[in-house]
Amino acid sequence: MAATVSFPVVNMEKLETEERDTAMAVIRDACENWGFFELLNHGISHELMDEVERLTKAHYATFREAKFQEFAARTLAAAGDEGADVSDVDWESTFFVRHLPASNLADLPDVDDHYRQVMKQFASEVQKLSEKVLDLLCENLGLEPGYLKAAFAGSDGGPTFGTKVSAYPPCPRPDLVAGLRAHTDAGGLILLLQDDQVSGLQLLRGGDGGEWVDVPPLRHAIVANVGDQLEVVTNGRYKSAVHRVLARPDGNRMSVASFYNPGADAVIFPAPALVGEEERAEKKATTYPRFVFEDYMNLYARHKFEAKEPRFEAMKSSAIATA
Ligand SMILES: O=C(O)CCC(=O)C(=O)O
């Protein structure tokens, strides 16, 4: 059972009013203590969000559902008749759209021109919003505006940016499989459009031994979460939260998750302004490593569903000297 606590929600319109300080404090607390928050009145048009949701659900029904049903039948047969362990299976149907550094939208099969255009426009809006949110984080951290965007820029001057489109269809055996197993996100900042009817996304608040908390569906909200790279650059002030998607016996949850990540060759390290004098002098063992983002991703690909700390440790042993 997930705990019922008040989830951090930020009405971004308040950032333009005398209530700005209160809104900034909600963002700060969310980044320090949750790793997640939801944004309302974020500037992305509701019509565009509705169209993304409508087209994404139609795309699943037309092009992916039949294939998913075959996978579902195979998985349930293996679990039931053969007693196979399916705990490493995710009950999801997904496809990935790359935007930066190079778009693959034109190459995706079964995506018509209208869906392509809508996804392109939505990605452009989400990228703008990601950079706006990164600057709000800079402000809260006492970093100069643009610091986090620059920290994530690769040698081509930009981030890696892409969108994972997912359906979590109903599952008759949610006791056997997860919608998506628990993990932290590898990248920088993740902005998610999630189904406003069907829930399932949960975060682990308080780390190991903490409590699972629902990320509540909220119409026209964008969910933001901290990835591992933000944890490193903020020197652990902000921590990526473990999260998962529950499989459910009813409802087909849709989600569109956009990952604003460092460029592949970006060198990631804690912002010097966030490393204390004492820590710098002692080069404490707890200090986060310095590494090339692509190396982290190669490791993550093999260890996504494991704890992040060993990944940070492994990066220390391959640490590069660029200071
Ligand atoms: O679909 C969601 O709500 C979360 C997706 C996610 O955590 C992931 O793909 O890494």
**Mean pLDDT, the chain, whole residue set:** 94
- Over the stretch 50-108, which tens digit does the pLDDT of each residue have? 999 999 999 999 999 999 999 999 999 988 877 788 989 999 999 999 999 999 999 99
Is 236 within 8 Å of 284 (Cβ atoms)? no
Lowest mean pLDDT among 81-85, 97-101, 130-134, 251-255: 81-85
Which of the four pLDDT bands, split at 50, 70 and 90, describes residue 320? low
Per-residue tokens: 95: 């496809």
The domain ranges of the chain are 9-273
CA of 29 to the centre of ligand 1 (A): 22
Please determine, for residue 244, whether its predicted confidence score (pLDDT) is greater than 50. Answer: yes
Q: Is the CB of 248 under 6 A from ligand 1?
A: no
Which of the four pLDDT bands, split at 50, 70 and 90, describes residue 208? confident
pTM assigned to the model = 0.95
Ligand 1: which of 202, 204, 240, 245 to mutate, most ligand atoms within 8 Å of CB? 245
Q: Is the CB of 164 under 6 A from ligand 1?
A: yes
% of the chain at pLDDT higher than 70: 96
Distances in whole angstroms, Cα of residue 73 to Cα of each of 143, 199, 251? 52, 23, 18
- Topology given in CATH for the domain delimited by 9-273: Jelly Rolls (2.60.120)
Tell me the three-class secondary structure of 227-288, residue by residue.
CHHHHHHCCCCCCCCCEEECCCCCCCEEEEEEEEECCCCCEECCCHHHCCHHHHHHCCCCCC
Per-residue tokens: 197: 């009817």
